Amino acid sequence: MSFRIGNGCGFWGDNLDAPILLARDGRLDVLTLEYLAELTMSILALQKERDPEAGFAGDFLDVLARLAPIWRQQTQLKIVTNAGGMNPSACARRAHDVLKKHGLTKRIAVVSGDDLMPNLDRLLQKGHPFANLDSGEPLATVRSRVVSANAYLGARPIADALSLGADLVITGRVADASLTVGPLMHHFGWAWDDWRLLGAATVAGHLIECGAQATGGLWCNYQEAPDLANVGYPIVDVEADGAFVLAKPPNTGGAVNIETVAEQLLYEVGDPAAYLTPDVVADFASVSLTQTGPDAVRVVTTRGKPATDSYKVSIAFRHGYAASGTLVVFGPEAAAKARVCGDMIAKRLERAGALPRRFLVEALGTGSCVPGVLANLAPHPQPNCPGARGNDPPEIVLRVTAQDERKEIIERFSKEFAPLVTSGPPGVTGYTSGRPSVREVLAYWPALVDMKVVTPQVQLFDN
Amino acid sequence: MDQEQQIPLSDIAHGRSGDKGNHANVAVLAYTDAGYLWLRENLTADVVAQYFAPLGPSKVERFLAPNLLGLNFVLYDVLAGGASRSLRIDTQGKTLALTLLQMPIARPANYEEMTRKAAV
Domain co-membership, A364 together with A334: yes
Is B57 near chain A, with CB under 8 Å?
Answer: no
Specify the range with the lowest mean pLDDT, choosing from A3-7, A382-386, A389-393, A433-437.
Answer: A382-386
Residues contacting residue A389 through CB under 8 Å, at least 6 positions apart: A331, A332
> Domain B6-112, CATH 1.10.1760 — does that match?
no
Flag whether A125 is in a domain.
Answer: no
Chain B nearest-CA distance from A281, in A, is: 16
- Spell out which residues of chain B touch residue A369, defining contact as CB-CB under 8 Å: 88-90, 94-95, 99
Task: Determine, for residues A220 and B16 on separate chains, whether the beta-carbon distance falls below 8 Å.
Answer: yes
How far, rounded to the nearest angstrom, does the alpha carbon of residue A158 sit from its chain's CA centroid?
Answer: 20
Residue A301, pLDDT score: 98
Residues A48, A156 within the same domain: yes
What pLDDT score does A389 carry?
A: 59
**CATH code for the domain of A385:** 3.30.70
The domain of A441 spans 318-445
> A159 and A10 share a domain?
yes
Are residue A22 and residue A97 in the same domain, yes or no?
yes
Are residues A302 and A366 both part of a single domain?
no
Average pLDDT over residues A303-329: 97
Q: How confident is the model at residue A380 (pLDDT cuts 50, 70, 90)?
A: low
pLDDT digits (tens, 9 = 90+) for A87-118: 999 999 999 999 999 999 999 999 999 999 99
- Reduced to 3 states, what is the DSSP secondary structure of residue A381? coil
- Strands A296-301 and A287-293, bridge-based pairing: antiparallel
Q: Do B99 and A262 touch (CB under 8 A)?
A: no
Whether residues A270 and A377 fall in one domain: no
Among residues of chain A, what percentage have pLDDT more than 70? 97
H or E element at residue A163: helix A156-163
Q: Is the per-residue pLDDT at A387 higher than 70?
A: no
Element (H, E) at B39: helix B33-42
pLDDT confidence of residue A38: 82
pLDDT score, position A165: 97
Picking from A9-18, A46-55, A300-309, A390-399, which range would have the lowest pLDDT averaged per residue?
Answer: A390-399
The pLDDT value given to residue A388:
59
Q: How do residues A188-206 score in pLDDT, each as one tens digit? A: 999 999 999 999 999 999 9
Q: What is the average pLDDT across A297-310?
A: 98
Q: How confident is the model at residue B1 (pLDDT cuts 50, 70, 90)?
A: very low
Residue type, A360: L
Chain A residue whose CA is closest to B51: A373
B112 alpha-carbon distance from chain centroid: 20
Same-domain check for residues A235 and A276 = yes
Task: Supply the pLDDT for residue A421.
Answer: 93
A260 and A348 in a single domain? The answer is no
If asked whether residues A84 and A192 sit together in one domain, one would say yes
Here the ipTM equals 0.96
What pLDDT does residue A386 have? 61
How far is A121 from A143, CA to CA, in rounded Å?
A: 9
Residue that terminates a domain, selected from A267, A283, A308: A308
- A452 is a domain residue: no
- Among residues A308, A335, A364, the one where a domain terminates is A308
Look at residues A7, A11, A79 and name the one whose alpha carbon lies nearest to residue A268. A11
Contact: B84, A272; criterion CB under 8 Å:
no
Chain A and chain B share a number of CB contacts under 8 A equal to 143
Name the percent of chain A lying above pLDDT 90: 91
Closest chain A C-alpha to B73 CA, distance in angstroms: 8
Look at residue A451 and tell me if it is in a domain: no
Mean pLDDT of A213-239: 98
pLDDT for A162-177, tens place per residue? 999 999 999 999 999 9
In the predicted structure, residue A382 carries a pLDDT above the cut 70:
no
Judge if A100 and A200 occupy the same domain.
yes
| β-pair partners for B19 | B24
Mean pLDDT, residues A344-359 taken together: 97
A130 φψ region: left (φ > 0), alpha (ψ -120 to 50), beta (else): left
Which residues of A are less than 8 Å from B70 in CB distance?
262, 266, 272
Question: Do A367 and A421 belong together in one domain?
Answer: yes
* Per-chain mean pLDDT for chain A: 95
Structural domain count of chain A: 2
Q: pLDDT, tens digit, for every residue of B15-65? A: 999 998 899 999 999 999 999 999 999 999 999 999 999 999 999 999 999
Contact criterion met (CB below 8 Å) for A228 and A216: yes
Going by their DSSP bridges, the two strands A428-429 and A310-330 should be labelled as antiparallel
- Flag whether pLDDT at A152 surpasses 50: yes
End residue of a domain, out of A279, A308, A337:
A308
Whether A405 has a pLDDT exceeding 80, the answer reads yes
Both A398 and A417 in a single domain?
A: yes
Nearest C-alpha of chain A: how many angstroms from B64?
8
Confidence of residue A379 (pLDDT cuts 50, 70, 90): low
